[in-house]
Structure 1
Amino acid sequence: MDLISFVKDASMQTQQLRFSNGHWDQAISLDTSKPQQILVLLFGNLPLYQEAITSLQQQLPLAFYIGATTSGEISQDQVIDNGLVATLIAFSNTSIRMTTQQVDMPQESYETGKRLAHELLGDDLKLVMVLSDGLNVFGSDLTQGLVDNLPKEVAITGGLAGDNFLFRQTHTLAQDHISSKQVVAIGLYGRALKVSHGSRGGWLPFGPDRLITASDGHELLELDHQPALTVYKEYLGDKVEGLPASGLRYPLEISQVGHSTKLVRTMLAVNEDHQSITFAGGIPVGATARLMRANVESIINGAASAIEVCLESHDNPQLAILISCVGRKQLLKQMIDEELDIVKERLNHDTQVCGFYSYGEIAPFDDKHQAELHNQTMTITCISELCTDY
């Protein structure tokens, strides 16, 4: 956990800290003698946040702090449960802007994305990273609001907060303010900044195509004119005992006419009275759905594919932010570190790695597509800052 990155021919510094037993595991070692802007990413367990943030802000009062609660934290060397990991990033040639929006109703999600985009528009904007409440925001609408109101060349990535598989309440952090129903976004600006991204799953469809005949936002009401939950139970039998958690292993693949990529949607909740299922993204009527499943090998290969997409245009990133779906974690179980390991094998040893297990991932599928909300993916954002005089 004591990796400090000073990459040759680059000016960005990173350091990672872990909070436990009331204190951080090491002192801040960033060189703060030169003018710079500092971003602190915090991912972890809600009860730890306030004390942990206070101690950091005393040492770095001018830094930008953003974070999210999780269903597992990704550190440099392992996946952690119920911890708190801070990754400090000091930029010399990049500026930072942060904005937040409160979302009282999920139906406000598109307008929330639109407002965030307008707040962050500016010269040399390279990346918008968004962290959202994971249960009270329509992540697909939020993402579309950003996409429709930002230039196409701006990368949009991020994820939805988790709550350790409880599916009750998630929180995001902006400076020292921790709140549910909150979306926080940062913009990174500057010609010295290099960004790449990749998002891959490894899940495979099975069974027949089914038409989505009724839905309401994220709630799937009918498949082939039959109650959605009834169809799930009849087709999967005892494999879906313990819903909604067991449903994480059987997401939906959604195909839409006119869309070249297929979306994957993760189950979040079931309504026995209505026989409906709520997913972590929008469920469009008229689309075709198929159930999906995976094995350990296919999931890990999906993570490898995600980082390989990043490295096609970014061969030596200084920072890799990994946002992986909670459903992948449930399937991998005790083999969860293998997903992290296969990504790190493809990175240089001095690349700082951080991230979390989420209720949804935001990124383009690749450079040819706009950002979308994904489920069941490993989504990676790679960042470097070149040491260049302008």
Structure 2
Amino acid sequence: MRAAQMFWDKAGHWSGTDGAPADAGLVFYFGRRQMLADGAPYEQLRERFPRAHVLGCSTGGQVTGTDVSDDVVSAVALDFSSTRVRVASARIARPTDSRSVGATLGAELNDKDLAGIFVLSDGLGVNGSALVEGIASRIGASVPVSGGLAGDGPDFAQTIVGCDAPPEPNTIAAVGFYGDAIRIGHGSAGGWNVFGPLRQITRSAGNVLFEVDGKPALDLYKLYLGPEESQKLPGSALLFPMRIFDPKHPDQSVVRTILGVDHVVGSMTFAGDMPEGWSAQLMRGSFDRLCAGAAEATHRAVERAAPGPDAQSVAILVSCIGRRLLMGQRIDEELEAAAAELGPNCLPVGFYSYGEISPHEQSGFCQLHNQTMTVTLLTEQAA
């Protein structure tokens, strides 16, 4: 496998394409919605790599080595020697269609030698956990699914995704990797601390939370945020994600973050399901623990992929926008912690998201996560 990274600047040009493999079969690109919306970055990639599948999405910031940038679009071109890739995409009309759309994508990509799937999904009009469940229902639990939900910085206005076409809203794209040569490592970790009492979800519908402990869920967040920060919802709620778990399986908790609020009803829309009867507890972060989580996730991905000493590899880092908002100017420390776990021949790319997709570290089932650093490492075994 060969890989090369490229950058699109405000002047409207890609740099680094001369060093990219001309016959690349797959290109990923990530950028701010405002820089992707006119389709120009995609069109130039399409012209430069006519044989490649080209997938991309809007973000809350792009990973450029050990830095985060809002001013460039980043891309990576991949040329596989012994791995087939196939893509599928779909439009989603409403969040309640998430499972059925996921099942359609999973059925389209399913094959006997499917080794893994990487997903880029609309970040606002989707129930991420239902989407992943739908994909898994067609490919089985043993095939890893990873990826992320597109972002829109702290604005939560619109997210866009493209698959062999200019990026658009309400789009979900997935790429399947096939064969014995591909090695896909994955890891996901958080680093947040729980605080406050353990509560119970008493009324919800899918990913919409109405009541916690019999009281409006939004009131709980407003209590912790205070009057000033409550006016900045849903963005300010990113600093207080919620850990949820089935009381029968407390060791298999997941973290959920907010996508929207309804002040009239008092409800909150999360990126994934909020099942009634599950336990819930608020969380807050510390810089040291978040960086340790990023390192842990990357270490797990490297261990699972086990790239050879001379093999080229690519690590796709998908981290939550909430982590970036909390860490502020120290966000580079998270990326430096992740990069320290990578070998010299590994190229780190990625983006800040509205949700991360990866197998759960305890159960092994693919799930939507929030407020985590999720790493997908791609490499090929030498022939």
Tell me the amino acid that sits aligned with residue 337 of structure 1.
Answer: D
**Structure 1 regions of 5+ residues with no counterpart?**
1-11
Correspondence for 2:111 among 111, 122, 145:
122
Report Cα offsets for 1:325-382 as digits up to 9, x if no partner. Answer: 0000001100111111111111112211110000000001237511000000000001
Correspondence for 2:49 among 38, 41, 60:
60
1:107 corresponds to which residue?
A: 96
Q: Distance in 1 between matches of 2:124 and 2:150?
A: 8
2:213 corresponds to which residue?
A: 224
2:25 corresponds to which residue?
A: 38
Q: Distance in 1 between matches of 2:35 and 2:177?
A: 27
> Structure 1 pair 367/385, CA: closer, same or farther in 2 (3 Å)?
farther
Tell me the amino acid that sits aligned with residue 27 of structure 2.
Answer: V
**Structure 2 regions of 5+ residues with no counterpart?**
none
2:222 corresponds to which residue?
A: 233
Q: CA deviation at 1:231?
A: 2.2
Q: Distance in 1 between matches of 2:297 and 2:332?
A: 16
1:365 corresponds to which residue?
A: 360
> Structure 1 pair 153/54, CA: closer, same or farther in 2 (3 Å)?
same
Q: Distance in 2 between matches of 1:112 and 1:258?
A: 29
Q: CA deviation at 1:313?
A: 2.6
For the Cα contact (< 8 Å) 1:239–1:246, is it kept in 2?
no
**1:288 equivalent in alignment to 2:275:** no
Q: Distance in 2 between matches of 1:239 and 1:26?
A: 45
Tell me the amino acid that sits aligned with residue 198 of structure 1.
Answer: G
Correspondence for 1:305 among 296, 303, 319:
296
> Structure 1 pair 352/331, CA: closer, same or farther in 2 (3 Å)?
same
2:17 corresponds to which residue?
A: 27
Q: Distance in 2 between matches of 1:110 and 1:255?
A: 20
Secondary structure in 2 aligned to 1:170?
Answer: coil
Q: CA deviation at 1:152?
A: 2.8
Q: CA deviation at 1:176?
A: 2.2
User: Within 5 Å, which residues of 2 pair with 1:1-390?
Assistant: 12-20=1-9, 21-32=11-22, 38-49=25-36, 50-238=39-227, 240-241=229-230, 242-259=232-249, 260-316=251-307, 318-366=313-361, 368-388=363-383
Tell me the amino acid that sits aligned with residue 140 of structure 1.
Answer: S
Q: Distance in 1 between matches of 2:136 and 2:362?
A: 14
Q: CA deviation at 1:47?
A: 3.9
Q: Distance in 1 between matches of 2:225 and 2:34?
A: 37
Secondary structure in 2 aligned to 1:28?
Answer: helix
Q: CA deviation at 1:115?
A: 0.5
Q: Distance in 1 between matches of 2:275 and 2:256?
A: 11
1:8 corresponds to which residue?
A: none
Q: Distance in 2 between matches of 1:216 and 1:82?
A: 38
Q: CA deviation at 1:31?
A: 4.4
TM-score relative to the length of structure 2: 0.94
Q: Distance in 1 between matches of 2:35 and 2:267?
A: 35
Q: CA deviation at 1:257?
A: 3.3
Mean Cα displacement is larger for which, 154-163 or 76-85? 76-85
Mean Cα displacement is larger for which, 284-293 or 22-31? 22-31
Tell me the amino acid that sits aligned with residue 154 of structure 2.
Answer: F
Q: CA deviation at 1:82?
A: 4.0
Q: Distance in 2 between matches of 1:231 and 1:165?
A: 21
> Structure 1 pair 118/37, CA: closer, same or farther in 2 (3 Å)?
farther
Q: CA deviation at 1:26?
A: 2.7
Secondary structure in 2 aligned to 1:92?
Answer: coil
Q: CA deviation at 1:87?
A: 0.5
Tell me the amino acid that sits aligned with residue 147 of structure 2.
Answer: G
Q: CA deviation at 1:216?
A: 1.9
For the Cα contact (< 8 Å) 1:309–1:366, is it kept in 2?
no
Tell me the amino acid that sits aligned with residue 283 of structure 1.
Answer: M
Give the total of aligned pairs: 374
The sequence identity of aligned pairs, in percent, is: 38
For the Cα contact (< 8 Å) 1:37–1:94, is it kept in 2?
no
> Structure 1 pair 355/375, CA: closer, same or farther in 2 (3 Å)?
same
TM-score relative to the length of structure 1: 0.92
For the Cα contact (< 8 Å) 1:202–1:299, is it kept in 2?
yes
Q: CA deviation at 1:206?
A: 0.7
